[in-house]
Amino acid sequence: MIRFGAPWLLAPALIVWALVVWRVRLLPRIYGGRRRWIQGTIVLGGLAAALAVGGLELGHRIDRLAVIYVLDQSRSVAESENAGDDALSQMRDAAAGMNTGDRAGLVVVGAEAATDLLPSPDPPFGTVRATVPRDATDLAAGLRRALADLPAEHAGRVVLISDG
């Protein structure tokens, strides 16, 4: 897939490149194969510069998705009835609808963050096995842990489940 980050800059850059191509024909006192080599190098360098100014991006489409759920397990959430069980059942339902190649994982947050399930194609969202201190909530640590757990070859999503 080819796209440009700044396509509006591509037009002026290509105009400058066209001027370079026109000017390179006028190289004085250089003849033969050496002249063609220099001309070709200047033209290709100018084209590369024009594409760089336009922000050329080469890549491929990523159609695999990785979802990391960040589940708040602090004392305030634990006091509400069945909050964790409801969240786990919703995670199981969402995991059942995943496409082939998609992954899901779980990070548990309290005063610290811990990875409960690494992203996998068929995550067993049964019970939370990781234990974290429940006397505080460090959502930032949970989000950092979730971002670190995202696989590079997947498009990533982070779902935060908390009481606020």
Task: Give pLDDT, residue 20.
Answer: 84
More confident residue, 89 or 27: 89
Q: Are strands 65-72 and 155-161 parallel, antiparallel or unpaired?
A: parallel
The pTM (predicted TM-score) of the whole model is 0.64
Percent of the chain whose pLDDT exceeds 70? 95
What token pair was written down for 19?
A: 């001027």
CA 20/CA 38 separation, integer angstroms = 12
Give the model's pLDDT for residue 79.
67
Length of the chain: 164
Give pLDDT tens digits for 54-78.
999 887 777 889 999 999 988 877 6
Q: What is the pLDDT of residues 1-48, one digit of tens each?
A: 788 888 899 889 888 888 888 887 776 777 778 878 888 898 899 889
